[in-house]
Amino acid sequence: MAERNNEKHKIVIVGGGASGLELATRLGRKLGKKGLAEVTLFDAASTHIWKPLLHEVAAGTLDESEQVEYLAQGYRNRFRFRLGRMEGLNRAKKEITIAPTLSDSGEELIPRRTFGYDTLVMAVGSVSNSFNIRGVTEHCLFLDTTQQAFRFQRQLVETYIKTFADERRIHEKPLSIVIIGAGATGVELVAQLHEVTNLLAVYGLRESTNVRLTIIEAAPQLLPALPGKLAEATKQQLLKLGVDLKLGCRVTEVTEEHIKTHDGEIIPADLKVWAAGIKGPDWLKQVDGLETNHLNQLVVDECLQTSDPSIFAMGDCAACAWPGHPGNIPPRAQAAHQQASALYKTLRNRLAGKPPVKFVYYDYGSLVSLGKYTTVGNLMGNLMGTVSVGGFIARVVYLSLYKMHQVAIHGYFRTAMLTLSNLFRRTVHAMIKLH
């Protein structure tokens, strides 16, 4: 049976990513604290990390203190957190179904449940799009979730140790790590992995410099979202780091030991990371009649409302038209942040019987961090037009985007304290995670 404990307006948010957590926090502070609504957040994980930082989690360079515990966040901000993955929707009954939660050994910890809602917000994010290429799902690692990023990091460390403990293998061939996809995730990850390789050498694995890093991209240039000039600057920086770039190269099959391309090349790979595109989760496809596009994204109007007036969607799982531009609003962190702010106003209006707020997307540009080496991107403004930036200024702007997210969920004081504590922690902790 669905859980209906009282007559408060029930706002259910599915997905604790950047937009979902920000919205739940703001609604909890404003509506939950005053008893005006019951706000509940659902997520399949118990902790949150800002998705643009997952490449640092995967490389082992991100401090684990950056994780946000959903239960603690809910307690402090007057919303409820429920652990579980949504698997179904009944619009007639206004209920969602949550799949059973299993332990690592397969034991059922929490049974299948249903929960009622008055307003439902879908913020389930995205998953990697394998484009039905043979072997990708079986043999590639993905960075869609925090759990996948941690899994990659453990496998990375184990592979390093296994490879460089065998002196014969060190001299036979280098450790090969191949990343398929040269968007922001792929480019940022390869830079982090290069930094990790050097750190491991400092920590004693001197032979770890014998690592081959490769990026495969079907498009003729890196970073399609950036102007050609910036993409070329990024290319030159990666070449300087010794990264092998294979542009205009389409993957046709992935095996346990190799990657095959359209021109017949066979590339050996010990670790393979797929970062070549995203889509909505497959279960979203026509979920109880809601309209979706070819990428399984929920089609929404200018108010982020689906074809059901009680259901909204935001973030990577939402297909929202971008007036004046071809296609939809791009799946970026800045879009998710802006959508959470717009929906916060809309849901407050909804409880007050007022009309929803139209969402207007402001593109402030794109930034790509190459770790300690450099940061490149373009900033956009009504007065400035498009301005290319790089180096220190770009790095500061890049970090400020994350600080905006932290302020949205923690407030200014807690964000300042977290920043200071992390600076002190780095003086006594290893710069990479080695376990």
Q: Helix, strand, coil proportions of the chain in percent (round to 5)? A: 35, 25, 35
- Domain range holding 258? 136-274
Looking at the structure of the chain, the number of domains it has is 3
Secondary element (H or E) of residue 256: none
Q: How confident is the model over 201-225, as a mean pLDDT?
A: 76
Half-sphere exposure of 245 (CA within 13 A, CB side): 23
What is the C-alpha separation between 140 and 138, in angstroms, rounded? 6
Q: Which tokens go with 9?
A: 């307006």
pTM: 0.88
Do 95 and 208 fall within a single domain? no
Are 183 and 49 spatial neighbours (Cβ–Cβ below 8 Å)?
no
On whether residue 310 sits in a domain, the answer given is yes
Whole-number percent of the chain with pLDDT over 70: 84
Do 257 and 328 fall within a single domain? no
Provide φ and ψ at 149, rounded to 5°: -65, -45
Amino acid 430: pLDDT:
47
Are 323 and 304 spatial neighbours (Cβ–Cβ below 8 Å)?
no
Confidence of residue 405 (pLDDT cuts 50, 70, 90): confident
Report which of 122, 158, 126, 147 is spatially closest to residue 54, judged by C-alpha positions: 147
Does the pLDDT value for residue 207 go beyond 70? no
On whether residue 131 sits in a domain, the answer given is no
Report which of 112, 61, 66, 85 is spatially closest to residue 405, judged by C-alpha positions: 66
Are 273 and 186 spatial neighbours (Cβ–Cβ below 8 Å)?
yes
Are 41 and 70 spatial neighbours (Cβ–Cβ below 8 Å)?
yes
* 123-132, 214-223, 335-344, 416-425: least confident range: 416-425
Do 183 and 238 fall within a single domain? yes
Looking at 274, 305, 338, the residue that finishes a domain is 274
Do 328 and 404 fall within a single domain? no
Confidence of residue 347 (pLDDT cuts 50, 70, 90): very high
pLDDT in tens, 132-163: 999 999 999 999 988 899 888 888 888 777 77
* 66-80, 257-271, 363-377, 397-411: least confident range: 363-377
Q: Judge residue 16's burial from the number of C-beta atoms within 10 Å of its C-beta, 0-12 exposed, 13-18 middle, 19 or more buried.
A: buried
Amino acid 404: pLDDT:
85
Amino acid 170: pLDDT:
54
Mean pLDDT of the chain: 86
Amino acid 369: pLDDT:
74
